[in-house]
Homo-oligomer: A and B are copies of this chain.
Amino acid sequence: MTKDLSVCLSPALINLFQVEDYIVVIIDIFRATSSICYGIENGAEAIVPVSLVEECAAFKNNGTNYLLAAERDGKVVEGFDFGNSPFSYTKDKVEGKTIVLTTTNGTHALHLSRKAKKVVIGSFLNLTSLCNWLKTQNQPVLLVCAGWKNNFNLEDTLFAGAVVDQLKGADFKLDDAAIAANDLFEIGKSDINQYLKKTSHGERLKKLGIEKDIEFCLQVDLTTAIPILEGNSLIKIN
């Protein structure tokens, strides 16, 4: 049966979709969902996405098994273990730990999608593994781009297009945004980093001095773990 494959280009457009009808994939390539994929791959027991820095801080007395990660405007919030750089989510740092995480865009998009059938996390790191799993689900899929403060951005859209590219043969009906995302991916795919250099976000991230993070986040199929929301936590799909 043909199922919808839709792309929500900004969290501000999510009310246009009945999220409860979809499996939602949250996309925040630079850097939240890339780091979540990497952290879960590296044995983090769970990642708890929270909306506010204060909620994150409230976990401070929960013991050494908790790591607190808070990012705002691309920087680690003062007083926190780390933000959303993937290099903070290596095995030696996160294995066996629970990470409480708040970010500018990614966790916001995630909270807006809570009512979905399932909420999973996507990034170039786990692209093919994610797409293979989505194909087995036989459900409508909504790809939610976290964007930058509700603004459209190219890196999240390009990743959405990469997912569309893998799913489009599998009896999905694409909406206009899915077609656009796929066509943009087609243009950019031979060198995504180069393509993104012309974007506003590229400029912004360059100013933050995180070019290495960017390169890391654009690696395709480095990981296979798919983080899924269970209750309030992101855990690895079995």
The interface of chain A, by Cβ under 8 A from chain B, is: 9-10, 12-13, 16, 149-154, 157, 175-177, 179-180, 183-184, 186-187, 198-201
Partner of A13, one of B12, B177, B179, B200: B12
Bound Cα distance A175, B10 (Å): 15
Partner of A9, one of B9, B154, B183, B199: B9
Contacts of A180 in B (CB 8 A): 152, 154, 157, 180, 184
Q: List 18 A-B contacts (CB under 8 A).
A: A9-B9, A10-B13, A12-B16, A13-B150, A13-B151, A16-B149, A16-B151, A151-B175, A151-B176, A152-B175, A154-B179, A154-B180, A176-B201, A179-B199, A180-B180, A180-B184, A183-B187, A184-B184
- The smallest C-beta distance from A8 to any residue of chain B, in angstroms, reads 9
- The smallest C-beta distance from A51 to any residue of chain B, in angstroms, reads 20
Bound Cα distance A154, B183 (Å): 11
Bound Cα distance A176, B152 (Å): 7
Bound Cα distance A85, B146 (Å): 37
Contacts of A153 in B (CB 8 A): 176
A176:B154 contact, CB within 8 angstroms? yes
Bound Cα distance A187, B153 (Å): 19
Q: Which residue of B lies closest to A14 (CB)?
A: B12
Q: Which residue of B lies closest to A202 (CB)?
A: B176
- The smallest C-beta distance from A162 to any residue of chain B, in angstroms, reads 15
Q: Which of A10, A150, A201 has the most CB of B within 10 A?
A: A10
Q: Which of A10, A176, A177, A179 has the most CB of B within 10 A?
A: A176
- The smallest C-beta distance from A80 to any residue of chain B, in angstroms, reads 28
Contacts of A183 in B (CB 8 A): 183-184, 187
Q: Which residue of B lies closest to A158 (CB)?
A: B180
Q: Which of A12, A180, A187 has the most CB of B within 10 A?
A: A180
